Copies of this chain bind each other. A is one copy, B any other.
C-alpha cells in the first residue's frame, strides 16, 4: 500500500494509524495472489497490474483458496494446515487468524456474508466461523468411519438461502447445512449413497445445481437446490477415468467448470480432451482434442472462449477454445507450471500464475497479447474481489 506521510498529534490516535494511513480507495479492482511456498499473499491492483502489498505469515498455502466478504475489504484465506486468515486488503495486514483443524481443504462464505465455513479432512467435518470475529459459530462433524475417525469433507460450496453444501468422501454423502433460520444450529439434510468417493464439487453460477465429481466410479452426482426433496441423481454416466483406467496426473478441478451458451465445458479425466455437454439433456455433444490432460476449463465472462490449462508434463501450455467452432483457436506458452487462471469480471483480461517462472502474467483475452508480468514467489491461486458478488465461489 502507499503510505502517506501523515503526521499525527496526540497518542490516542496511534491505534488507528495503520488503517488511516492506508490510501483511501475503491476495492472493486483489487485481488490477491497466493504465493504458496512462502505462506503469503500479494494484494494486487488488477487494472494497474501492480502489487500493492505483501501479507506474510499465513501458514501452509498448498491448494489454498480465497473468498471475499461482501464489502470486498476482507479476503478469507483457507490454508491446507487448517489455518483461516482474514486479510485486510486495504491495509495489507492480517485482521484475524485462527488455526482451526489439522488439515483442511477450502471453504466458502455465506450468501449474507456473515459466516465463513471450512471443509476439514482431519478431523472430518465443517467448521463455521463468524466472518467478523472468526469466532466459532457452528461445528458440523462428518459421519464416523470408525477408530474415532470421520469422513473427509470436500466440495464445500455456498448456495442461496444461506446454505452450505458439501460432500463426504469416505461415506458417499452430500449434505446441506441451512443457516437461514438459526445461525448457530443449522438444519442438516443428508443424501446417502450418492456415488463412490465424491472428491470435488461445484455450484452452478445460478446457484441451482450442486454437482460432485466421483473418484471411485464414473459419472457425476447432481442435486437440484431448488428442489432438494427430489434427491441426488446421476448424470453423465461415462464421465470419469473409464474402464481403461488411464494414469491421471492430476484430478481436474470442478470449480473451474465453464458454462457457456447452454453447454458445460468439462475437463476429460486422464484424456487429452475437453468434453462439451448439453445442459438440458446432460448428453455429451462434442469432444475437443487439446494439448494435454486439462486441469481448469474456464469460460471467459460472456462465453466467447474457454481457456484450458494442463497437468504435468504439459503445464507450460494454455489453450483457448472457440465456443462456436468447438475447436482450439490459440495456444500460448506462458512457461512451466501454469497453475491457475483468473479473468477480470468483464472478461477483457486474464491473469495466469506461472509458478516455475515466479511470475504472474496478464493477457488481453481478445488479442492474446501479454500486457504485463509481475514477479511473484511460486504463485498459485489468483482471486479478484468481484468474486464477492457471485454465487458458489
Query: A-side interface residues toward B, CB under 8 Å?
Result: 4-10, 13, 16, 19-20, 22, 24-29, 47, 68-74, 89-91, 111-113, 160-162, 180, 206-208, 226, 260, 262, 280, 301-304, 324, 345-348, 366, 385-386, 388-391
Contacts and interface: CB of A to CB of B under 8 A. Distances in A.
Nearest to A301: B391
A207 B302 contact: yes
Contacts of A28: 27-28, 68-73, 385, 388-389
A319 to B, nearest CB: 20
B7 A90 contact: no
A71 B9 contact: no
B26 A160 contact: no
A26 B345 contact: no
Contacts of A20: 4, 6, 20, 24
B206 A71 contact: no
A46 to B, nearest CB: 8
Given A20-B6, A24-B20, A25-B73, A389 B302 contact: no
26 contacts: A6-B13, A6-B20, A7-B9, A7-B10, A8-B9, A20-B24, A24-B90, A26-B385, A28-B69, A28-B72, A28-B388, A28-B389, A29-B70, A29-B71, A29-B113, A160-B347, A162-B348, A206-B303, A207-B346, A208-B302, A226-B304, A301-B391, A345-B390, A346-B390, A386-B386, A389-B389
Query: How many identical subunits does the complex contain?
Result: 2
A291 B16 CA distance: 54
A125 to B, nearest CB: 25
Given A6-B20, A8-B6, A206 B302 contact: yes
B24 A72 contact: no
Contacts of A19: 24
Contacts of A47: 70-71, 113
Contact of A9 (B9, B280, B304): B9
Contacts of A111: 346, 348
Contacts of A385: 26, 28
Given A26-B74, A345-B388, 12 more contacts: A6-B20, A7-B8, A8-B8, A28-B388, A29-B71, A72-B72, A206-B260, A206-B303, A207-B301, A208-B303, A345-B389, A389-B389
A372 to B, nearest CB: 14
B391 A26 contact: no
Contacts of A91: 24
A302 B13 CA distance: 45
A54 to B, nearest CB: 19
A26 B27 contact: yes
Contacts of A347: 160, 207, 391
A313 B153 CA distance: 55
Contacts of A71: 25-29, 47
Nearest to A388: B28
Contacts of A13: 4-7
Contacts of A16: 4
Contacts of A29: 70-72, 113
A74 B69 CA distance: 20
A386 B26 CA distance: 12
A303 B206 CA distance: 7
A160 B73 contact: no
Contacts of A5: 13
Contacts of A180: 366
A29 B131 CA distance: 15
Contacts of A7: 8-10, 13
A69 B160 CA distance: 28
